[in-house]
Every structure is written in structure tokens, then in C-alpha cells.
Amino acid sequence: MPKIMFTILIRHIVPALFAALLVSCGQGNDGNFAAEDELFITLPAIDSLVVVNPAQKTEVSRLKLGKLPHNVRLSADGAKLYVVLVGSQAIAEIDVASKQLIRTFLTDPVPISDNAGVPIEAHISLQADLHSSCFDCHNGRADGAKPAIVGSRPFGIALTTDNKVLVANMFSATVNYIDLATGNIVKSLDILPAGDAQEPTEVAIMDGRLYVTVRPILPSLSPSVLRVYDLDSGALLSQNNVGSAVTALEIDASSSELYTTNFESNTLDRFGADGQLIDSFVVGDGPFGVDIDGETLLVANYYNNSISRIELSNKNIFTQALGTEDQQFSNPTHVSLSHDNQIIYLISGSTNGYLLTLDSTTLKIISNMQIDGLPFDIININKL
């Protein structure tokens, strides 16, 4: 797929639907997978989340959540998981222990009229504002409301220490503060455009600051921006350009630094807590997800079909193609380390999706496990 076409897809986030039975297909040395690791993986193409035991290469549980589940965040106590339902304008809350869906709640109010000001009669007559997810009606079934994918496209998500979840809504250009006790929106921060950049995509929180990435409507080669706000007041503290088509935003609280990957400019940018650029690294083509192990960064390169390791101490970059003697893997999206940082779990987000396990030293593939097509995010709930 040409790169510009993929940027159109991640703008609209409407993947083709592919389904396959979860099967185990080991490759090479199986390694010493820790029984403590438990992986939660989002499957946007089939509206679901799957739980995988990597030691046994088995599916533990599968939940139907809503349209286009993407980003995943774990609560500070490890008890609950929050998944953004991009196509259902909602967040799903999951109990980690029981692997059950607890509830959903809206990330933006349900509109009572369309963009032209015409009342949406079905929303009024069916009291759509009382629903906790657009998936209740817009679910893709034959008798469901059309279209199946609706809403203001929530994407980025972050959790506060005072029981709130913050979510970036791309189409309405807001970051909404949602009280987890009630599921109600208690505050909305308008994200104003900066040049061509107008869609808030990712959010992160560190030391009383809110970080928001804002990108142009894709496809575009114009710069994205990183904004820093005061978390409580919403006051804008700083703004800096980042590379084209900013994709990921990750914080490292231990060093008070944060990182963005920039899909079109093939870079990873490193920022201080004040939002000022420290370093920029050229990695593989189409960098996507990032994970952090102290002074080491791991980057999934979507179009380069590779993974890069950046050593911050000496600025060395090592990139390894994803493949074995028998099989090549493509389109990695996100990465998560094992609880002891010895194993890398990597999502191959192609139409034949795979969970790959890699040796963290050599970046060589240890094994693979086929899962449903077009998987997106991954989180190891037991990573220290």
C-alpha cells in the first residue's frame, strides 16, 4: 500500500474486515516466556479485544467492545483497563481479573442535529443521549443504524491520579475530562489549530502537565505540534513543532522526558518535560509505537517492516528486519516489553495479524502467533 494511502486510512480509521481463528504457530526457539506476562491486544477490524497468554500461546479471553477499539491504558492499581472505541465515540472499562466488560461511557455528547443544523430525529426519539456508547445502535448489524462508524473519533487517552480519564477527540478538536465515578464529562478543553495542525490525537500526563499532539488532516506533510498545558487550569504553557503525521506519544516519568514518533518524517523526537526538543532520531520508514526500557527505546517501523532500538546514552540506532528463514512479517504497530524486559512483544498489524516475540538483545524473532487481521495496540499488564 502506498504510504499516502495509509495516512488516509489512519485519518478515517476504517479498516477492512478480516477474521481468522487464533492459532499457535511457533517459530524457532520458544524462549523462556514468563508466566506472569498477560497481553491485551485490540482488534479494530472485529470490534474486539483479545487476551493472550504468551507462555502457552493461547487465547485466554475475547471481548466484543464496540467499533474500532484502538488505544489501551491500564489503571494505576492494575485492576482496570480502558480502551478507546474510535468508531463508537466511547471508552470501554474492563475488569482485568475477570476479563469482563464493566461498562462503556461516551467521550463526547451525542449530537441532536447534524452539521447543517438539521435535527437527527432518531437521536431525539430514541434518547440517544442516554446511551453509553454509539455501538448500542450503530453496531454494523443488518438491523443496526447506519453508518456503523460514527462520532467525533476519540483516540488519545490518559488517566489522572484523581480518578479522571482524558481523551482527545479528533473531529471535535477537544480534550475531554471524564469523571470515572460517574462516566460524565466534567470539563472540555478546546484544542485550537496551529497552522495546518488541527486534530488532537494523543494525550499524556506528567507532573501536573497535559501533553497533546495535534496533527494536520491527513494526508499531509505539514508539521504536527506538541502542546503542553497546565493539567488543572488548561492554560497553554508551550508549543513546538514535531515531524509530519505525529503518531505516538510516550512519557518516561523516571527521566521526566517524552517521545513522539512521526510517521511521514521517519523520526522519533525526544522532549524535556517543558516540551522543548532534546534530540531527534531517524529510524525506519513509518515509525509507529514506542516502548521504553530505561535508556533504551524500542520503535515499531510500520512501513520498513522492522524494529529499531535506540540507545540514548550513545545515540546508537540498531534496526532489525522482521522475518525468519521461513516467513516475513509486516506492518508492526505497537510494542510492549515482558515483565523482566528480556522479551519484546510486537504486533504485526497486517491483514494476517501476528503477535511476535523477540529477543530483546538481538531483536531476532523467537516465535510468532497468528491472531485476527489488523491488530493495533498491545499492553502487557504485568510489565513492571
Model pLDDT for residues 274-301, shown as the tens digit of each residue: 999 999 999 999 999 999 998 999 999 9
For residue 265, is pLDDT > 80? yes
Mean pLDDT, to the nearest integer, of 309-324?
96
Predicted confidence band of residue 176 (pLDDT cuts 50, 70, 90): very high
Q: How far apart are the C-alpha atoms of 189 and 177, rounded to whole Å?
A: 8
Predicted confidence band of residue 369 (pLDDT cuts 50, 70, 90): very high
Q: Beta-carbon neighbour count of residue 112 at 10 Å?
A: 12
Q: Which residue stretches of the chain are H helix? A: 3-12, 121-125
* Predicted pLDDT of residue 3: 55
Going through 124-163 in order, the beta strands assigned E by DSSP cover 154-159
Backbone torsions φ then ψ of 300, nearest 5 degrees: -85, 120
What nine digits make up the cell of 124? 431525539
Right CATH for 1-61+283-384 from 2.30.30.240, 2.40.10.220, 3.40.50.2000, 2.40.10.500: 2.40.10.500
Beta bridge partners of 242: 224
Q: Which residue has the higher pLDDT, 324 or 287?
A: 287
For residue 14, is pLDDT > 60? no
For residue 8, is pLDDT > 50? no
Predicted confidence band of residue 114 (pLDDT cuts 50, 70, 90): confident
Q: How far apart are the C-alpha atoms of 194 and 241, rounded to whole Å?
A: 9
Predicted confidence band of residue 115 (pLDDT cuts 50, 70, 90): confident
- Give the global pTM: 0.91
Q: Which residue has the higher pLDDT, 27 or 172?
A: 172
Q: Of 4-8, 47-51, 113-117, where does mean pLDDT reach its minimum?
A: 4-8
The rounded percent of the chain whose pLDDT value lies above 70 is 91
Name every residue whose Cβ is closer than 8 Å to that of residue 61 and which is 6 or more positions away in sequence. Answer: 50, 51, 99
- Mean predicted lDDT score pLDDT of the chain: 91
Q: What is the rounded end-to-end Cα distance, in angstroms, of the chain?
A: 37
* Predicted pLDDT of residue 284: 96
Mean pLDDT, to the nearest integer, of 20-40?
53
Mean pLDDT, to the nearest integer, of 131-160?
96
- SS3 (DSSP) at 10: helix
For residue 319, is pLDDT > 80? yes
State pLDDT tens for residues 191-245: 999 999 999 999 999 999 999 999 999 999 999 999 999 999 999 999 999 999 9
Q: How far apart are the C-alpha atoms of 200 and 171, rounded to whole Å?
A: 8
Name every residue whose Cβ is closer than 8 Å to that of residue 361 and which is 6 or more positions away in sequence. Answer: none
Q: How far apart are the C-alpha atoms of 79 and 382, rounded to whole Å?
A: 11
Mean pLDDT, to the nearest integer, of 345-352?
95
28: left (phi over 0), alpha (psi -120 to 50) or beta: left
The rounded percent of the chain whose pLDDT value lies above 90 is 86
